[in-house]
Amino acid sequence: MREYRKLEKEYYDKMLPKDDNGVVAIDTSVPLFRKPEYGDTWGIWEYRKNKTLACDIYEVYLDQMNSSAEVLDWIVQVSHKTWVTEKHLADLIYAIDDILSLQPNYCGFGIDKTKR
């Protein structure tokens, strides 16, 4: 399994090196890191071919997230599970955002966008 955010960081660290002061010079010619692929992971969550984010005991159905309210509903549902830690929840949010691009597709500028 591939930890998506670690791969993304390694890519940008290599493609956009920092200067002596730790500042990154933005280079718009550098291609963006790839989109998430099936098998990528975020902590305990794995992106699976059935369009779910799954861990050993739970599945989150990405194809049921057609509005920002539905995205939030899934996040809140998972947050109430007794086994979920703050890291599990943060990793889930990162995964959903990386896969679905929440701001441009669901809630940019506070405007709800429905994906039906």
Angstrom CA distances, 71 to 27, 58, 68, 96, stand at 33, 16, 5, 8
Distance CA 4, CA 39 (A): 9
**Strands 52-54, 45-48: parallel, antiparallel or unpaired by DSSP?**
antiparallel
Query: Structure tokens of 66?
Result: 């057609």
pLDDT tens-digit series, residues 50-103 = 999 999 999 999 999 999 999 999 999 999 999 999 999 999 999 999 999 999
Q: Which residues pair with residue 54 across a beta bridge?
A: 46, 59
pTM metric for this prediction: 0.87
Distance CA 110, CA 108 (A): 5
pLDDT tens-digit series, residues 25-56 = 777 888 989 999 999 999 999 999 999 999 99
Reduced to 3 states, what is the DSSP secondary structure of residue 114?
coil
Sign of CA dihedral 112, 86, 90, 80: negative
Task: Please give the mean pLDDT across all residues of the chain.
Answer: 93
Average pLDDT score over residue span 106-111 = 90
